[in-house]
Protein backbone atom coordinates (compact mmCIF):
# COMPACT_ATOMS: atom_id res chain seq x y z
CA UNK A 1 0.00 0.00 0.00
CA UNK A 2 1.39 3.45 -0.98
CA UNK A 3 2.32 5.85 1.80
CA UNK A 4 0.08 8.88 2.22
CA UNK A 5 2.83 11.10 0.76
CA UNK A 6 3.15 8.87 -2.31
CA UNK A 7 -0.64 9.11 -2.70
CA UNK A 8 -0.51 12.88 -2.32
CA UNK A 9 2.29 13.11 -4.95
CA UNK A 10 0.31 10.95 -7.40
CA UNK A 11 -2.83 13.02 -6.80
CA UNK A 12 -0.93 16.31 -7.20
CA UNK A 13 0.55 15.12 -10.53
CA UNK A 14 -2.99 14.53 -11.84
CA UNK A 15 -4.26 17.85 -10.46
CA UNK A 16 -1.28 19.76 -11.91
CA UNK A 17 -1.97 18.54 -15.44
CA UNK A 18 -5.76 19.13 -15.23
CA UNK A 19 -7.58 22.38 -15.86
CA UNK A 20 -11.18 21.22 -15.47
CA UNK A 21 -11.62 19.15 -12.32
CA UNK A 22 -14.94 17.92 -10.88
CA UNK A 23 -15.10 16.66 -7.29
CA UNK A 24 -17.93 14.23 -6.52
CA UNK A 25 -18.35 13.81 -2.77
CA UNK A 26 -20.41 12.04 -0.14
CA UNK A 27 -20.83 11.78 3.60
CA UNK A 28 -17.22 10.63 4.07
CA UNK A 29 -16.08 14.18 3.24
CA UNK A 30 -17.79 15.45 6.42
CA UNK A 31 -17.06 12.66 8.94
CA UNK A 32 -13.85 14.44 10.04
CA UNK A 33 -16.03 17.48 10.76
CA UNK A 34 -17.96 15.35 13.24
CA UNK A 35 -20.94 14.41 11.05
CA UNK A 36 -21.44 10.61 10.88
CA UNK A 37 -21.85 9.02 7.47
CA UNK A 38 -24.62 6.55 6.68
CA UNK A 39 -23.24 3.15 5.80
CA UNK A 40 -19.91 2.82 7.63
CA UNK A 41 -20.00 0.54 10.68
CA UNK A 42 -20.72 3.50 13.02
CA UNK A 43 -22.81 5.29 10.40
CA UNK A 44 -26.41 6.46 10.82
CA UNK A 45 -27.91 3.44 9.12
CA UNK A 46 -26.33 1.07 11.64
CA UNK A 47 -27.69 2.88 14.70
CA UNK A 48 -30.88 1.48 16.25
CA UNK A 49 -34.08 3.52 15.90
CA UNK A 50 -37.78 2.72 16.25
CA UNK A 51 -37.96 2.86 12.45
CA UNK A 52 -35.26 2.18 9.89
CA UNK A 53 -33.52 5.55 9.14
CA UNK A 54 -34.01 5.02 5.40
CA UNK A 55 -37.75 4.79 6.17
CA UNK A 56 -37.68 7.90 8.35
CA UNK A 57 -35.89 9.83 5.57
CA UNK A 58 -38.65 9.11 3.07
CA UNK A 59 -41.34 11.38 1.65
CA UNK A 60 -44.15 9.03 2.76
CA UNK A 61 -42.86 8.96 6.35
CA UNK A 62 -42.52 12.76 6.46
CA UNK A 63 -46.13 13.12 5.29
CA UNK A 64 -47.50 10.56 7.78
CA UNK A 65 -45.31 11.13 10.87
CA UNK A 66 -43.82 14.65 10.66
CA UNK A 67 -43.04 14.73 14.41
CA UNK A 68 -41.11 11.41 14.26
CA UNK A 69 -39.30 12.66 11.15
CA UNK A 70 -38.31 15.90 12.85
CA UNK A 71 -37.17 14.04 16.00
CA UNK A 72 -34.62 12.13 13.88
CA UNK A 73 -33.84 15.07 11.61
CA UNK A 74 -33.14 17.47 14.49
CA UNK A 75 -31.03 14.86 16.25
CA UNK A 76 -28.95 13.66 13.33
CA UNK A 77 -29.20 15.95 10.28
CA UNK A 78 -29.81 19.51 11.51
CA UNK A 79 -26.19 20.03 12.53
CA UNK A 80 -25.27 23.73 12.65
CA UNK A 81 -22.24 23.60 14.98
CA UNK A 82 -19.92 21.65 12.68
CA UNK A 83 -17.01 23.23 10.82
CA UNK A 84 -15.34 22.46 7.47
CA UNK A 85 -12.25 20.24 7.59
CA UNK A 86 -9.03 20.47 5.49
CA UNK A 87 -10.70 18.64 2.58
CA UNK A 88 -13.36 21.37 2.29
CA UNK A 89 -10.74 24.13 2.53
CA UNK A 90 -8.40 22.52 -0.01
CA UNK A 91 -11.24 22.33 -2.55
CA UNK A 92 -12.16 25.98 -1.99
CA UNK A 93 -8.52 26.93 -2.72
CA UNK A 94 -8.45 24.73 -5.85
CA UNK A 95 -11.61 26.49 -7.09
CA UNK A 96 -10.02 29.90 -6.44
CA UNK A 97 -7.06 28.80 -8.61
CA UNK A 98 -9.55 28.12 -11.41
CA UNK A 99 -8.80 24.38 -11.60
CA UNK A 100 -11.84 22.98 -9.77
CA UNK A 101 -14.94 23.76 -11.83
CA UNK A 102 -17.61 22.09 -9.69
CA UNK A 103 -18.20 20.23 -6.47
CA UNK A 104 -21.07 17.76 -6.79
CA UNK A 105 -22.06 16.71 -3.29
CA UNK A 106 -24.63 14.31 -1.86
CA UNK A 107 -24.21 16.08 1.49
CA UNK A 108 -26.75 18.56 2.86
CA UNK A 109 -24.55 20.17 5.54
CA UNK A 110 -23.39 23.26 3.61
CA UNK A 111 -19.75 22.82 4.77
CA UNK A 112 -18.30 23.31 1.27
CA UNK A 113 -19.89 26.77 1.04
CA UNK A 114 -18.79 27.53 4.61
CA UNK A 115 -15.19 26.76 3.52
CA UNK A 116 -15.53 29.24 0.65
CA UNK A 117 -16.50 27.05 -2.33
CA UNK A 118 -18.86 28.80 -4.75
CA UNK A 119 -19.91 26.28 -7.40
CA UNK A 120 -21.46 23.53 -5.26
CA UNK A 121 -24.16 21.31 -6.76
CA UNK A 122 -26.15 19.83 -3.87
CA UNK A 123 -27.79 16.77 -5.42
CA UNK A 124 -29.67 15.99 -2.21
CA UNK A 125 -30.48 19.57 -1.21
CA UNK A 126 -29.48 21.43 1.95
CA UNK A 127 -30.52 21.86 5.60
CA UNK A 128 -30.01 25.59 5.01
CA UNK A 129 -33.01 25.86 2.70
CA UNK A 130 -36.51 25.24 4.14
CA UNK A 131 -39.93 26.15 2.77
CA UNK A 132 -43.50 26.33 4.02
CA UNK A 133 -45.49 23.64 2.20
CA UNK A 134 -48.54 25.94 1.98
CA UNK A 135 -47.28 29.42 1.06
CA UNK A 136 -43.70 28.46 0.04
CA UNK A 137 -42.14 31.08 2.31
CA UNK A 138 -38.36 30.50 2.78
CA UNK A 139 -36.81 29.83 6.21
CA UNK A 140 -33.16 29.27 7.13
CA UNK A 141 -31.84 26.40 9.27
CA UNK A 142 -31.70 28.61 12.37
CA UNK A 143 -35.43 29.29 12.18
CA UNK A 144 -36.16 25.53 12.02
CA UNK A 145 -33.65 24.79 14.81
CA UNK A 146 -35.21 27.39 17.15
CA UNK A 147 -38.88 26.74 16.30
CA UNK A 148 -40.94 26.22 19.51
CA UNK A 149 -42.63 23.01 18.24
CA UNK A 150 -40.87 19.87 17.10
CA UNK A 151 -42.61 20.29 13.72
CA UNK A 152 -41.90 23.90 12.67
CA UNK A 153 -44.88 25.87 11.41
CA UNK A 154 -44.97 28.91 9.16
CA UNK A 155 -45.61 32.15 11.09
CA UNK A 156 -47.35 33.60 8.02
CA UNK A 157 -49.92 30.90 7.24
CA UNK A 158 -49.47 28.14 9.82
CA UNK A 159 -48.35 25.59 7.20
CA UNK A 160 -45.75 22.90 7.93
CA UNK A 161 -42.15 23.84 7.07
CA UNK A 162 -40.16 21.18 5.22
CA UNK A 163 -36.36 21.12 4.70
CA UNK A 164 -35.24 21.26 1.06
CA UNK A 165 -33.51 17.90 1.37
CA UNK A 166 -34.27 15.11 -1.10
CA UNK A 167 -36.04 12.34 0.79
CA UNK A 168 -36.43 8.79 -0.50
CA UNK A 169 -39.26 8.82 -3.01
CA UNK A 170 -38.57 12.43 -4.05
CA UNK A 171 -37.03 13.70 -7.26
CA UNK A 172 -33.56 15.23 -7.36
CA UNK A 173 -33.74 18.87 -8.50
CA UNK A 174 -33.57 18.88 -12.34
CA UNK A 175 -31.17 21.84 -12.48
CA UNK A 176 -28.63 20.05 -10.24
CA UNK A 177 -28.79 17.01 -12.54
CA UNK A 178 -28.37 19.09 -15.71
CA UNK A 179 -25.47 21.14 -14.28
CA UNK A 180 -23.85 17.96 -12.90
CA UNK A 181 -24.14 16.26 -16.30
CA UNK A 182 -22.58 19.27 -18.06
CA UNK A 183 -19.74 19.48 -15.50
CA UNK A 184 -18.96 15.76 -15.89
CA UNK A 185 -19.01 15.95 -19.70
CA UNK A 186 -16.58 18.93 -19.67
CA UNK A 187 -14.21 17.64 -16.96
CA UNK A 188 -10.70 16.31 -17.61
CA UNK A 189 -10.26 14.90 -14.07
CA UNK A 190 -12.91 13.37 -11.80
CA UNK A 191 -12.20 13.01 -8.07
CA UNK A 192 -14.70 10.76 -6.23
CA UNK A 193 -14.37 11.04 -2.45
CA UNK A 194 -16.11 9.73 0.66
CA UNK A 195 -19.04 8.02 -0.96
CA UNK A 196 -20.15 4.39 -1.19
CA UNK A 197 -21.90 5.14 -4.50
CA UNK A 198 -24.94 3.15 -3.31
CA UNK A 199 -27.51 5.78 -4.17
CA UNK A 200 -28.91 6.39 -7.64
CA UNK A 201 -29.12 8.45 -9.79
CA UNK A 202 -26.05 10.07 -8.18
CA UNK A 203 -23.92 7.02 -8.98
CA UNK A 204 -25.22 6.64 -12.54
CA UNK A 205 -24.48 10.29 -13.36
CA UNK A 206 -20.76 9.45 -13.02
CA UNK A 207 -21.00 7.36 -16.19
CA UNK A 208 -21.25 10.66 -18.12
CA UNK A 209 -17.58 11.29 -17.34
CA UNK A 210 -15.69 9.60 -20.17
CA UNK A 211 -12.05 10.70 -19.84
CA UNK A 212 -9.21 8.52 -18.52
CA UNK A 213 -8.27 10.00 -15.13
CA UNK A 214 -10.51 9.12 -12.17
CA UNK A 215 -9.35 9.33 -8.54
CA UNK A 216 -11.28 7.33 -5.92
CA UNK A 217 -10.65 8.33 -2.29
CA UNK A 218 -12.15 6.24 0.50
CA UNK A 219 -10.82 5.56 4.01
CA UNK A 220 -12.19 1.99 3.87
CA UNK A 221 -9.38 -0.18 2.44
CA UNK A 222 -12.00 -2.61 1.10
CA UNK A 223 -13.83 0.06 -0.88
CA UNK A 224 -12.86 0.56 -4.52
CA UNK A 225 -14.16 1.74 -7.90
CA UNK A 226 -13.20 -0.31 -10.94
CA UNK A 227 -13.06 2.73 -13.30
CA UNK A 228 -10.54 4.55 -11.07
CA UNK A 229 -6.99 5.18 -12.38
CA UNK A 230 -5.86 6.09 -8.84
CA UNK A 231 -7.38 4.58 -5.65
CA UNK A 232 -6.42 6.24 -2.34
CA UNK A 233 -7.31 4.66 1.03
CA UNK A 234 -6.80 7.55 3.42
CA UNK A 235 -9.13 9.92 5.29
CA UNK A 236 -9.99 12.86 3.06
CA UNK A 237 -9.21 15.53 5.67
CA UNK A 238 -5.82 13.99 6.51
CA UNK A 239 -4.96 13.47 2.83
CA UNK A 240 -5.83 16.98 1.65
CA UNK A 241 -4.62 18.52 4.92
CA UNK A 242 -1.06 17.77 3.81
CA UNK A 243 -1.50 19.27 0.34
CA UNK A 244 -1.25 22.83 -0.97
CA UNK A 245 -3.74 23.78 -3.69
N1 LIG B 1 -12.41 9.97 4.26
C2 LIG B 1 -12.69 9.21 3.16
N3 LIG B 1 -13.74 8.34 3.09
C4 LIG B 1 -14.53 8.25 4.18
C5 LIG B 1 -14.30 8.99 5.36
C6 LIG B 1 -13.18 9.87 5.37
N7 LIG B 1 -12.88 10.62 6.45
N8 LIG B 1 -15.28 8.66 6.27
C9 LIG B 1 -16.07 7.73 5.67
N10 LIG B 1 -15.63 7.49 4.42
C11 LIG B 1 -16.23 6.62 3.42
C12 LIG B 1 -16.85 5.34 3.96
O13 LIG B 1 -15.94 4.27 3.90
C14 LIG B 1 -18.03 5.12 2.98
O15 LIG B 1 -17.63 4.28 1.91
O16 LIG B 1 -17.28 7.38 2.86
C17 LIG B 1 -18.33 6.51 2.42
C18 LIG B 1 -19.65 7.07 2.90
O19 LIG B 1 -20.67 6.28 2.32
P20 LIG B 1 -22.18 6.46 2.82
O21 LIG B 1 -22.23 6.44 4.30
O22 LIG B 1 -23.00 5.47 2.03
O23 LIG B 1 -22.57 7.94 2.37
P24 LIG B 1 -22.93 8.45 0.91
O25 LIG B 1 -22.25 7.64 -0.15
O26 LIG B 1 -22.70 9.90 0.89
O27 LIG B 1 -24.52 8.17 0.84
C28 LIG B 1 -25.20 8.71 -0.27
O29 LIG B 1 -27.28 7.96 0.66
O30 LIG B 1 -28.91 7.69 2.24
C31 LIG B 1 -28.46 8.50 1.24
O32 LIG B 1 -29.05 10.75 1.10
C33 LIG B 1 -28.13 9.88 1.72
O34 LIG B 1 -26.62 11.43 0.66
C35 LIG B 1 -26.72 10.12 1.20
C36 LIG B 1 -26.59 9.07 0.12
ZN1 LIG C 1 -46.73 29.52 5.02
pLDDT in tens, 42-55: 888 887 778 899 99
Atom of ligand 1 nearest to the CA of 39: 21
Res. 98: pLDDT tops 90: yes
Contact 123 CB / ligand 1 (< 6 Å): no
d(CA 147, CA 36): 24
Res. 137: pLDDT tops 80: yes
The protein residue with its alpha carbon nearest to ligand 1, atom 17, reads: 195
From 88, 124, 233, 234, the catalytic residue: 124
How many angstroms does the Cα of residue 136 sit away from the middle of ligand 1? 31
Contact 125 CB / ligand 1 (< 6 Å): no
Task: State the first-to-last Cα distance of the chain, in angstroms, to the nearest integer.
Answer: 24
| Cβ contact 123:165 at 8 Å | no
Q: Which residues are near ligand 2, the ion (C-beta closer than 5 Å)?
A: 132, 134-135, 137, 154, 156-157, 159
Give 196-238 pLDDT, tens digit per residue: 999 888 789 999 999 999 999 999 999 999 999 999 999 999 9
Contact 26 CB / ligand 1 (< 6 Å): yes
Q: What is the pTM of this model?
A: 0.96
| pLDDT for the residue 213 | 97
Known catalytic residue at 88 = no
Average predicted confidence (pLDDT) for the chain: 95
CB environment 89-99: b (16+ within 10 A), e (fewer): bbbbbbbeeeb
| pLDDT for the residue 47 | 77
| pLDDT for the residue 201 | 83
Handedness of CA 87, 93, 95, 98 (dihedral sign): negative
How many angstroms does the Cα of residue 175 sit away from the middle of ligand 2? 25
The protein residue with its alpha carbon nearest to ligand 1, atom 1, reads: 235
| pLDDT for the residue 1 | 74
> Which strands, in side-by-side order, build the sheet including 161-165?
138-139, 125-132, 161-165
Amino acid sequence: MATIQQDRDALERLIDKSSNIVFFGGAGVSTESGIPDFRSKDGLYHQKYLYDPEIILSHAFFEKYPAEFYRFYRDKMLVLDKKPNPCHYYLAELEKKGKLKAIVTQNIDGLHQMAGSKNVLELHGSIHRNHCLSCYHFFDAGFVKNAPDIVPHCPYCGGIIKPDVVLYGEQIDDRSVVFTAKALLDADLLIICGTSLQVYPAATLLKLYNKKDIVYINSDPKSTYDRASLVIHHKAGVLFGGMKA
